[in-house]
């Protein structure tokens, strides 16, 4: 997907980009490739592939109608190079985006990226989701949590749901169907007072299959979750 094909597709989808937004995506691509030589951000560096498999793929929650251009508080867990939240932020500047990542080098990249792209209303924190999930400044503070190819739903639910306000939503993006994952996560979701709302497959313009799963938080998360760093992975709920 060339940059022009990306712009044309978005226009067709009902999201025409202005010159500033096009320049932001262009600069994002340049910085991603430049920094990828210093720190491992992505295995995908060819321009057409980045525009399709990172940029277009990241904005699926917008294209599928799950996020509007309003000042929602969105948290992105394990965003790596800023996916999916920062491409969504470029499309919908009203979003207030927070990223937590366990690698400080990636946080340095994101800070530089935000400066270069002149993004406001973005906040980057270095650390583990399990630790931040017990911090009152972060716990139950977000309307939406996104996670793209981070962990199985059984693990991911414990890492993300504590951050959501009641009625807030987790939007999980994956490359493969998540039916079995959701079945395995039934107990975890029940313990965390969350319910699946949507789980469906869709295709990228090149025909590649993708999956989006939406989970809604129904009540306050019990205080003991998330457990200590590493525990969700070692002993999933």
Give pLDDT tens digits for 104-127: 999 999 999 999 999 999 999 999
State residue 149's pLDDT score: 76
Q: In the predicted model, what is the mean pLDDT of the chain?
A: 94
| Gap between the Cα atoms of 233 and 237, Å rounded | 9
Q: Among 98, 39, 46, 48, which residue's Cα sits nearest to residue 71?
A: 98
Domain membership of residue 149 as a residue range = 3-234
Grade residue 175 by pLDDT with cuts at 50, 70 and 90: confident
| Gap between the Cα atoms of 121 and 72, Å rounded | 11
Task: Report the CATH number that the domain containing residue 211 is assigned in CATH.
Answer: 3.40.50.150
Domains of the chain: total: 1
State residue 150's pLDDT score: 79
141 pLDDT more than 90: yes
| Binding site, annotated residues | 78, 83, 129-130, 148
80 pLDDT more than 80: yes
| Binding site, annotated residues for S-adenosyl-L-methionine | 78, 83, 129-130, 148
94 pLDDT more than 90: yes
State residue 177's pLDDT score: 75
pTM beyond cutoff 0.85: yes
Grade residue 71 by pLDDT with cuts at 50, 70 and 90: confident
State residue 69's pLDDT score: 85
Phi, psi of 234 (to 5 degrees): -70, -40
Q: Among 156, 192, 136, which residue's Cα sits nearest to residue 76?
A: 156
């Amino acid at each position: 997907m060339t940059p022009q094909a990306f712009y044309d597709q978005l226009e067709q989808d009902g999201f025409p980009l202005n010159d500033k937004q096009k320049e932001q995506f262009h600069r994002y691509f340049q910085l991603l490739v430049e920094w990828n030589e210093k720190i491992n951000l992505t295995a995908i560096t060819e321009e057409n592939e980045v525009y399709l498999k990172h940029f277009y793929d990241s904005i699926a929650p917008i294209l599928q109608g799950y996020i509007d251009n309003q000042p929602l508080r969105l948290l992105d867990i394990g965003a790596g190079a800023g996916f999916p939240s920062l491409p969504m932020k470029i499309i919908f500047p009203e979003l207030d985006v927070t990223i937590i990542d366990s690698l400080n080098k990636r946080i340095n990249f994101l800070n530089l990226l935000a400066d270069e792209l002149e993004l406001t209303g973005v906040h980057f924190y270095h650390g583990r989701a399990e630790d931040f999930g017990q911090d009152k400044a972060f716990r139950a503070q977000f309307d939406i949590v996104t996670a793209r190819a981070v962990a199985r739903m059984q693990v991911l639910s414990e890492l993300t749901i504590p951050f959501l306000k009641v009625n807030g939503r987790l939007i999980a993006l994956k490359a493969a169907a998540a039916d079995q994952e959701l079945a395995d996560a039934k107990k975890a979701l029940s313990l965390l007072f969350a319910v699946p709302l949507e789980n469906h497959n869709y295709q990228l313009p090149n025909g590649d299959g993708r999956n989006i799963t939406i989970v809604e938080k129904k009540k306050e998360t019990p205080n003991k979750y998330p457990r200590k760093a590493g525990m969700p992975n070692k002993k999933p709920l």
